[in-house]
């Protein structure tokens, strides 16, 4: 039995009378894709915030790579190896795609206090950036400003940035949000190609993507974990069908 790389223990968070995270425990094992699903308002966004370090839980612990990171902020968790793809693309719009990935590689490799040599003349940094761009199929667009990339390309760029950080875990917050059918298919393909190389916690609305990628699925309803299990088990669970999948079928 391998030790999980990320483990949430009994997390709780309330805003006034509203409980948004209620005694949530789940873990992410090395190499697995663990999907987190739930209807709107189930508390997924808050939970992502708690994992990333933007929201402090009222109770419970978060263990990452064997360390208690509950009190660490976003930057500190990122330095420990938590890579992140945002629900709404967060890229540096005025930078070229390559400079965006250079920035991410710089964060991983260190040397951000280099005051004199131009960033573009650091061969190792550039090589790392180009490798990550190549991995997501953006090599041809490396010199284009990130702000004018197509939506799907920007999602891919975010993924390249996360990869350039050489993370221990990837936290994917609705990577399919706003993508068209073809773009979505390409992104799913890309994530599939990464599967097994690094553990991913996938928060996603798109059920096709979830069932194509996930090894295990956790369903969040009303801030609490309704069930954690294999895709088959989750699909068969009557409670889930009623609260969540039924809603999807109706659409």
Partner 1 sequence: MARMSRLRSPGAIALLVTLGFLAALAVAYVQDSTYWMATLARMAALALSAVSLSFLVGQAGLVSFGHAAPVGIGAYAVLIAGEFGVREVMIVLPLAFAAAALFSALTGAIALRTRGVYFIMITLAFAQMAFYVAASLSAFGGDDGMAIAGRSTFLGERILRRDHGLALLAIGLLGVGLFVLGRVTASKFGLVLRAARDNETRVRALGLATYGHRLAALALAGGVAGLSGALLANQAEFVSPSYMNWHVSGQAIVMVALGGAGHLVGGVIGAVAVTLLDEAIGHYTEYWKLGLGLVVVGAALLRGRGLLRRIVGGQHD
Which conformational region is residue 81 in: left (phi greater than 0), alpha (psi within -120 to 50 degrees), or beta?
left
* Smallest separation, CB 118 to partner 1 (Å): 4
155 contributes a contact to partner 1 by CB under 8 A:
no
Contact 186, 152 (CB under 8 A): yes
Window contacting partner 1 (CB under 8 A); options: 13-21, 43-51, 117-125, 219-227: 117-125
Q: Does 181 bind partner 1 (CB under 8 A)?
A: no
- Using CA atoms, how far apart are residues 105 and 127, in angstroms rounded to an integer? 10
| C-beta of 100 vs 179, nearer to partner 1 | 100
Which one, of 90, 159, 92, 98, lies nearest residue 128 by Cα?
98
Would you say 63 or 72 has its CB closer to partner 1? 72
Q: Does the protein bind partner 1 through residue 52 (CB under 8 A)?
A: yes
Q: Which positions from 77 through 116 interact with partner 1, judged by CB under 8 A?
A: 77-79, 84, 86, 90-96, 99, 102-104, 106-108, 111-116
Q: Which two tokens stand for residue 58?
A: 């009222």
Q: For partner 1, give the closer residue by CB, 78 or 210.
A: 78
CB of 115 to partner 1, least distance (A): 5
| Contact partners, residue 125, CB within 8 Å, separation at least 6 | 102, 105, 106, 109, 111, 119
Task: Work out how close the CB of 60 gets to partner 1 at its nearest, in angstroms, rounded to a whole number.
Answer: 22
Segment near partner 1 (CB under 8 A), from 72-80, 183-191, 194-202, 208-216?
72-80
Q: Measured from the CB of residue 152, what is the shortest distance to partner 1 in angstroms?
A: 18
Closest CA to 205 of 39, 13, 55, 19: 39
Q: What is the smallest separation between the CB atom of 138 and partner 1, expressed in angstroms?
A: 16
Which CB atom, from 41 or from 147, has the smaller least distance to partner 1? 147
Residue 172 CA, distance from chain mean position: 2
Instruction: Tell me: does residue 56 bind partner 1 (CB under 8 A).
Output: no
Q: What's the CA gap between 163 and 133, in Å, rounded?
A: 9
Residue 66 or residue 118: which is nearer to partner 1 going by CB?
118
Coil, helix or strand at residue 42: coil
Least separation in angstroms between CB 67 and partner 1: 15
The number of residues that bind partner 1 (CB under 8 A) is: 40
Strand partners, 241: none
Q: How many residues does the chain have?
A: 251
Beta bridge partners of 171: 84, 201
DSSP helix/strand/coil, 121 = helix
Enumerate binding residues for partner 1 (CB under 8 A). Answer: 52, 74-79, 84, 86, 90-96, 99, 102-104, 106-108, 111-120, 122, 125, 143, 145, 147, 161, 165
């Amino acid at each position: 039995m391998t030790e999980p790389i990320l483990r949430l223990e009994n997390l709780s968070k309330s805003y006034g009378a509203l409980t948004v995270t209620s005694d949530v425990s789940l873990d992410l094992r090395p190499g697995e894709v663990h999907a987190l699903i739930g209807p709107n308002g189930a508390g997924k966004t808050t939970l992502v915030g708690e994992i990333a370090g933007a929201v402090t839980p009222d109770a419970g612990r978060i263990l990452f790579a064997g360390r208690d990171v509950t009190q660490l902020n976003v930057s500190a968790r990122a330095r420990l190896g938590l890579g992140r793809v945002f629900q709404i693309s967060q890229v540096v719009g005025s930078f070229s795609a390559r400079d965006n990935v250079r920035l991410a590689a710089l964060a991983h490799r260190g040397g951000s206090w280099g005051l004199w040599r131009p960033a573009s003349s650091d061969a190792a940094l550039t090589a790392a950036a180009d490798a990550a761009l190549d991995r997501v199929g953006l090599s041809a667009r490396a010199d284009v400003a990130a702000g004018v990339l197509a939506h799907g390309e920007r999602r891919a760029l975010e993924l390249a940035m996360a990869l350039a950080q050489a993370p221990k875990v990837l936290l994917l917050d609705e990577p399919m949000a706003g993508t068209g059918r073809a773009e979505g298919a390409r992104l799913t393909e890309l994530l599939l190609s990464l599967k097994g190389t690094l553990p991913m916690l996938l928060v996603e609305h798109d059920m096709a993507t979830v069932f194509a990628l996930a090894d295990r699925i956790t369903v969040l309803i009303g801030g609490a974990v309704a069930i954690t299990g294999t895709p088959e088990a989750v699909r068969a669970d009557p409670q889930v069908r009623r609260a969540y999948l039924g809603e999807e079928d109706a659409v």
